[in-house]
């Protein structure tokens, strides 16, 4: 499938057709659609949780692409861990403990946080050093690694104990707070940028 897509060759500037690519679609049944949640943040003061470990896996990422290098450590799929994480997350959602949720994929946790924030019209303070990691990871790796099977959760303070009980078998950490500032702030990485500016960059495909 996907035989008509194209990509931009950064080395030559050419627009080229991609090779034939296998596309796998997964479809499931939601027993109770009222329990489905969205990625947009809901309330200032709620906490940001991340579940899943971040590895030094920035190779082939969007971050490396915009800086014109490749990187050697590409993301690795870990099926056993991934299954545990998604099952724990599903249990928490089923008990109505998660206010919003977003996967960490293209662009890593930094981009996922921004997408949640501007989708809900809120700002956030992000503490990168609190993220669960496998070994030493730089702030850049913490922010932009594309390790699979990681999710950002919005959790209300009154639900912390119960949410934690559902996540006891998987790596997790509270990594910040949503607020009314309309800014994304990650002090450790010297980042302080308006959510409106991030939203414009995201919609227009430009680098902030």
Q: Report pLDDT digits (tens) over 9-57.
A: 777 888 888 777 777 888 888 889 999 999 999 999 999 999 999 999 9
Mean pLDDT of 102-113: 93
On whether the CB atoms of residues 182 and 196 are closer than 8 A, the answer is yes
Mean pLDDT of 94-115: 94
For residues 185 and 11, give the distance between their C-alpha atoms in angstroms, rounded to a whole number.
34
- The pLDDT of residue 1 is 52
Q: Does the pLDDT of residue 5 top 90, yes or no? A: no
- The pLDDT of residue 196 is 92
- The pLDDT of residue 207 is 63
On whether the CB atoms of residues 85 and 151 are closer than 8 A, the answer is yes
- The pLDDT of residue 152 is 97
What does the buried/exposed string (b/e) look like for 19-34 if buried means 16 or more CB atoms within 10 Å of the residue's CB? eeeeeeeeeeeeeeee
3-state class (DSSP) for residue 1 = coil
């Amino acid at each position: 499938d996907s035989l008509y897509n194209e990509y931009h060759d950064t080395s030559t500037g050419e627009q080229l057709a991609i090779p034939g690519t296998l596309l796998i679609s997964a479809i499931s049944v939601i027993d109770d659609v009222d329990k489905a949640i969205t990625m947009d943040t809901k309330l200032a003061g709620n906490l940001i949780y991340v579940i899943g470990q971040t590895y030094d896996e920035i190779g082939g990422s969007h971050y490396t692409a915009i800086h014109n290098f490749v990187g050697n450590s590409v993301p690795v799929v870990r099926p056993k861990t991934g299954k545990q994480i998604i099952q724990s997350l599903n249990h928490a959602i089923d008990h109505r403990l998660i206010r919003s949720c977003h996967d960490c994929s293209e662009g890593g946790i930094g981009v996922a946080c921004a997408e949640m924030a501007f989708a809900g019209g809120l700002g956030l303070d992000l503490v990168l050093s609190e993220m669960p990691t496998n070994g030493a990871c730089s702030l850049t790796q913490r922010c932009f690694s594309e390790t699979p099977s990681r999710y950002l959760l919005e959790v209300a303070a009154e639900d912390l104990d119960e949410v934690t009980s559902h996540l006891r078998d998987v790596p997790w950490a509270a990594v910040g707070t949503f607020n009314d500032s309309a800014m994304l702030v990650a002090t450790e990485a010297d980042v302080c940028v308006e959510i409106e500016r991030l939203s414009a960059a995201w919609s227009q495909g430009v680098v902030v």
